[in-house]
Chains A and B, each alone.
Chain A
Amino acid sequence: MLKIKNLHAQVGEHQILKGLDLEVMPGEVHAIMGPNGSGKSTLASVLSGRDLYEVTEGSVEFEGKDLLDLDASDRAREGLFLAFQYPVEIPGVSNINFMRAALNGKRAHKGLDPIKGKDFLAKVKECGELVELDGRLRDRSVNEGFSGGEKKRNEIFQMAMLEPKLAILDETDSGLDIDALRVVSKGVNAMRTPDRSFIVITHYQRLLDHIVPDYVHVLSGGKIVKTGGPELAMELEEKGYDWI
């Protein structure tokens, strides 16, 4: 699914990723933990194709394609999804129209006709129920005036709509109360299949109680310094990052 080799990336002159290696197989859930400033969010941005970051060395292969060769929208169309840590507001653009544009973009990429209105609405209903997204939120402008929890639920709603091959959740648990965390996790778990992979970036072990990973990696100083199973997260929670 995803093969990252010796990835180096920087913002301006500031080197953030310094030789990161990671391989994700279909159906796997990888958690990436690490202290502030270790490069977790940078990894998410680099993988999703944000211009701000410059890759200086290394390679990323996604489904046999050179991911770094594709622009952000093509990466998305190839099946890569990023649930944003800070979802962006787009005033005047309804959530539902936004999703239709996204879905049809993806379909066009595959040579398919735009989705039929009826099918689209059925899908919206189904995916909305998955994360208990209020009907009104679906009709409102993208993320505008949404609470923190609503924004995160909206991210998972969009993920369900777009059915990615690989989903990266960037600190999706930040700012969530227990109930919202449960709803979001339920949505993610419902989407786990033998073909779909996840990279879950988080500070805290509590999310991993709900979304149980196959692997836990510790990112520090721009590299993965330790890899283990779910028990590694527990240990980190107990002992802190200094322990590594």
Chain B
Amino acid sequence: MARYGMVFDLKRCIGCNACVVACKQENALPEGVFFTRTLSEEYGVYPAVNRVYIPTLCNHCEDAPCEKVCPSGATYTRPDGIVMVNPETCIGCGSCAVACPYDQRSEMKAESFKDGLFGTGELTPFEQQGYPRYTPGMVTKCDFCSGRVDAGLDPACVVTCPTEARIFGDLDDPESKPSQLIRERNGRPPLPEKNTRPKVYYID
């Protein structure tokens, strides 16, 4: 069984946010909800100033704190390591959100499903086909596009990235691209001090 993970190459990310748009499109996300973000930071002192872009998404932690605290059992980990949320059992209490050190949980506000993208009270055909996968009020997150992964495809953000800054694959396979990059370029997980053992790594 594979153990899926992702590597972000910070040298390659140009902050175009194509991944963010692809994610919103693939997952039919309501206004204000993002499963992935590209954060930016400027550092240095003039004239030696630099800007770095830092993509973020759910880290699908091996020791996922969101799963531990979920009182309804809605958050669970698949055998391939993808951390999922069951829309049928999530109660929207937000325990997972305050347990995730990476702030990667999103509340699907019930109003978003009623008002629609344009706030007219009518849903566009895009919303009509996309929203039934969620329960209004639930708290959810990135699932590495599990439907695409099951079909043998890469997540939408990965295939959309024009600079190939996002690399997805099996972390248990030493020959996979992410495993090689982590090994050769000293991949580092975000906030390792939180002991969540993320399956997302950054290389620079």
Same complex: no
List the interface of chain B (C-beta within 8 A of A): none
List the interface of chain A (C-beta within 8 A of B): none
